[in-house]
Amino acid sequence: MNNKDIKICLFTDTFCDANGVSRFLQDMAKESLSSKVELNIITSTVKNYCPKLDNVFILKPFFRIKMPFYKELDLVFPPIRQMVKKVKELQPDVIHISTPGFIGIVGTLIALKHKIPVIGTYHTDFPMYIYSNTQLKLAKNITTLFMKIFYKKFTALVTRSQEYIGVINEDISIEKEKIFFLQPGTNIKTFSPKYYNNNLWENYNISQNSTKFLYVGRLTKEKNLDYLFEIWKLFYNQSKKKDSYLCLAGSGELENYKDSLKKYNVVFLGHKEKEELSSLYASSTVFVFPSTTDTLGQVVLESLASSTPVIVTNKGGPCGIVNNSKEQVGFVLDIEEKKSWIKLFKKFENGKLNQELLRKNSYIYSKNFSITKTFESFIDIHTKNITIKKG
């Protein structure tokens, strides 16, 4: 099958949310519009953090509730008949399931009923997320069982992190020959050092000359922010300058800490998007991502594209991004070694690192992660698997 003839219909429960996966899918949808490949996206939501595109079909849900243990995401009950009708109109060669929520379940059932090959992306380590939020092994085991059942009949499963191939194979029981690595990518035009604007910090009563540690993402427990707050308070108490700030862009239940953390120079910036988000990335000293459960960490790619070095943990997908760079673009720290985190924070605060070189390396390295390369990788995986399925 020729690439330009392929028609893909992607189902997702998260397209208009304020997170890295949503921004990634939005970029993929835009990339399709300028290519010969037909990628249509079907979702159901009332959220509006997304652009209006000709190849995106947002259907009004019957109703929605907050996802248990994961309140920042909606559990949406989509209009099934409308989804079936839309698939019949689009006549896809393959259906791609981006998320294992109700929309993803409906997309899977449609694919199986009409004997359309189905491929998925393992964007989120839900078993670990659920465990992080509940600390219940039973909840984790039930989620893992669901994932095994859900992905069992997929033709292939895609991961954007080499580190997760083994996890998917062992935990979700997917054969390695059915797991494919998708080249990570982000929009290196949307996130760029050209958005540097040191004046923006005045809006938050932060000195332009201060050291800014930035975090972008949901303000929730599964992102391991409690650990970051603990480290930060230890660092701040030992700091002699007291002119470093931990800046958090996003929303979530941990915003409740806003008042208690203010005395430690922790600033909650709220939800940010578009050019304002791009400027925050480009104008920060370093990006800090404490998560241990992210399969990739789209925000890490966005930071590097903005020419801002990163600090990540030694668990999960983000460490692979940093470790695979030939030049230093950031730091991978052991989650068990709190002293190493504090020591590194001090180095940034005291200017004992070659910030100019780190920024230069980050920007150059990010060129490997263009969304165009990702889209090409995405299409290639689908083309090969349709050939295998139909052959």
Helical ranges in 91-250 per DSSP H: 102-113, 126-134, 137-151, 164-171, 225-238
**Domain regions of the chain by residue span:** 3-185+370-386, 193-369
Q: What is the pLDDT at residue 12?
A: 95
Q: Considering the entire predicted model, what is its pTM?
A: 0.88
Architecture, CATH, for domain 193-369: 3-Layer(aba) Sandwich (3.40)
Return the higher-pLDDT residue of 303 and 127: 303
Q: What is the pLDDT at residue 72?
A: 61
pLDDT band of 342, cuts 50, 70, 90: very high
Per-residue model confidence as pLDDT tens digits over 227-249: 999 999 999 999 999 999 999 99
Q: Does 3-185+370-386 match 193-369 in CATH topology?
A: yes
pLDDT band of 59, cuts 50, 70, 90: very high
- 336 burial class (0-12, 13-18, 19+ CB within 10 angstroms)? exposed
Q: Are 82 and 44 in contact (CB under 8 A)?
A: no
pLDDT band of 68, cuts 50, 70, 90: low
- Altogether, the residues listed in the chain come to a count of 391
Mean per-residue pLDDT of the chain:
92
Q: What is the pLDDT at residue 343?
A: 98
Q: Residues 216-220: what's their mean pLDDT?
A: 92
Q: What is the pLDDT at residue 293?
A: 85
State the residue for tokens 């990518």: 185
User: Is a pLDDT exceeding 60 seen at residue 390?
Assistant: no
Per-residue model confidence as pLDDT tens digits over 90-147: 999 999 999 998 999 999 999 999 999 999 999 877 778 777 777 888 888 998 899 9
Residue type, position 390, single letter:
K
pLDDT band of 67, cuts 50, 70, 90: low
Angle between helices 298-305 and 20-33 (to 10 degrees): 70
pLDDT band of 73, cuts 50, 70, 90: low
Q: Residues 50-76: what's their mean pLDDT?
A: 80
Q: What is the pLDDT at residue 356?
A: 97
Domain 3-185+370-386, what fold? Answer: Rossmann fold (3.40.50)
